[in-house]
Chains A and B, each alone.
Chain A
Amino acid sequence: MTEYKIIEILMKEAHTELSQEERRLLDQFRAESADNAAFVEENIQILNNMPTYDNMDLEFVVEEALTKVNNKKETPSKVVSLPRATSAVEKKTKYFAWLAAAVVVFGLSTFIYNFLGHSSDTMVYSTDSDMESFLLSDGSEVLLNKNSTLTLSNEFGDQLREMQLEGEAYFKVKNMDDQPFIVNAGLVKVEVVGTQFNVNNRQSNKAIAVFVNEGKVKVSSSKSRTKVLLSANESCQFDKQTNTLVKAEAGQSNATSWFSKNLSFNNVPLGSAIEDIEAHFDIDVSVDKVSCLDSLYTSLFNDPNADEVLKTISSVFDFQIIQKGDKSYQLAGGKCE
């Protein structure tokens, strides 16, 4: 373990002055044995000879990149931000109203830019660390979750209402009878006729899942001949490995938890509750006792934190919570039916 500390000190030494204590620790370690001294010397030798990457041995085609960026920058996002709710409470109420009809798509998008072709014909809506809402030119509203990108063609609204999503978004679609609203989320196409829906197309997700809270939505994929029509509280999954689109048994009541902030579990297997919890808090939770994953669980949380949820579950199933990392938990032990 001392070696860890020594490495930390050596790394620090490269760019700042060491404290007296650190200097003392380093000298002491060095003096302890020849091995220690060699350890320090070798590491210093490595650190002093790390590649600097100052002299470029890689060529970048700067002009080409510049042209690419200049093409993109001249397509200002024709975006009118929705007025932001003034308080958290108001915000929540608003999002709940949106919940009336929702579709959630989980999945993976690898070809966002391929789809709409040249970048100069597109409008790009992007978020970084915060969610943001946008009003599209057809009157539809989009609540774009953090780290997400929605790309629309410049013809959006005239001939077709079609777009590409990377990340996650919730849509409130303006009803236009003759114009379907289409969201391409990776390999899956979600077609909506006048409703509200939510698409999550995160790179990290393995399957693409669609959940409809209310309204009717058609889901298809170029990789599968099956088409699925979803009504309220129905969901389907597209398995990326087998390229199959299957209607799922149960709905996904927590598909919109990212903005509703509520987690609800109504007599669901613990395994699927854990999946929702992992997605909601962006954490990893492992359960030691596999048999527990089928035990049914019921609970409702209103804007909880991860600790609170895990503690509640653990008290029900008699788990012991072991925190393995900042975002990684193990539920050990457990008594399940």
Chain B
Amino acid sequence: MQQIKAGDNSAYDTLFRKYYSYLCMVVLRMTHSKEQAEDIVQEVFLDLWRKKEQIEINSAVKAYLHRSVVNKTLNKIRDKKLDFDRDEEKLQSVPTMQHTPLQKMQGEELQNVIKTAFESLPEKCRIVFSMVKYEAMSYKETAEKLEISVKTVENQMSKALRIMRAAINEYKRQ
């Protein structure tokens, strides 16, 4: 980081190469769009360069970048002014996966069903769930960041798990 502060381009490039994909995945857990994920991460790296003289990083660079990326994503989400209390989104039918009958629901297969279900959650549901699950935020923190009520977080969390449970049960029945 000291090298970057001094304007060292190659140190910057190294940092970029090291964390770019990781940070894109962080955003992708929250949103559906790969393109948007890349835009956000690139913006964060640009901000890092432009503000390099002012930035004081007290934690690990990775943690700093992670936090910046999450914050920027949340800003974008807030700008979209999603109404988290309105359930106009249709519950998308969860795509079912190919499987061989005698296989047990475990290991990789179970993970695949959950992954598919998670990725097809309604947008708001997914945002809330990934903040709590992946960003390890409390309900209160999630509510504050999204400027919604704790009640709404509770609703969305319960909904997310309900949908994923249903996906597993559906799969088991087949």
Contacts and interface: CB of A to CB of B under 8 A. Distances in A.
Interface of A: 3-4, 7-8, 11-12, 14-16, 42-43, 45-47, 49-51, 53-54, 56, 58, 60, 62-63, 65-66, 68-70, 72-73, 76-77, 128-129, 147, 202-204, 282, 284, 324-328
A325 B124 CA distance: 15
Given A43-B165, A58-B28, A68 B42 contact: yes
Given A51-B118, A54-B25, A72-B42, 8 more contacts: A15-B136, A46-B164, A49-B114, A50-B115, A66-B13, A69-B49, A147-B79, A204-B79
A325 B85 contact: yes
Interface of B: 9, 13, 16-17, 20-21, 24-26, 28-29, 34, 38, 41-42, 45-46, 49-50, 75, 79-81, 83-85, 110-111, 114-115, 118, 132-134, 136, 138-139, 143, 147-149, 151-152, 154-155, 157-158, 161, 164-165, 168
6 contacts: A4-B154, A7-B154, A42-B168, A65-B16, A284-B83, A328-B83
Contact of A60 (B20, B138, B155): B20
Given A42-B165, A69-B45, A326-B149, A77 B50 contact: yes
Taking chain B's interface residues, is the majority helix, strand, or loop, or is none over half, making it mixed? helix
A68 B43 CA distance: 11
A73 B46 contact: yes
Nearest to B117: A46
B143 A326 contact: yes
A43 B132 CA distance: 14
B20 A56 contact: no
B133 A14 contact: yes
Contacts of B49: 69, 73
A50 B20 contact: no
B25 A46 contact: no
Nearest to A54: B25
A62 B164 CA distance: 33
A46 B168 contact: yes
A216 B19 CA distance: 50
B165 A46 contact: yes
Contacts of B85: 324-325, 328
B161 A43 contact: yes
A79 to B, nearest CB: 10
Contacts of A43: 161, 165
A58 B161 CA distance: 25
A47 B111 CA distance: 10
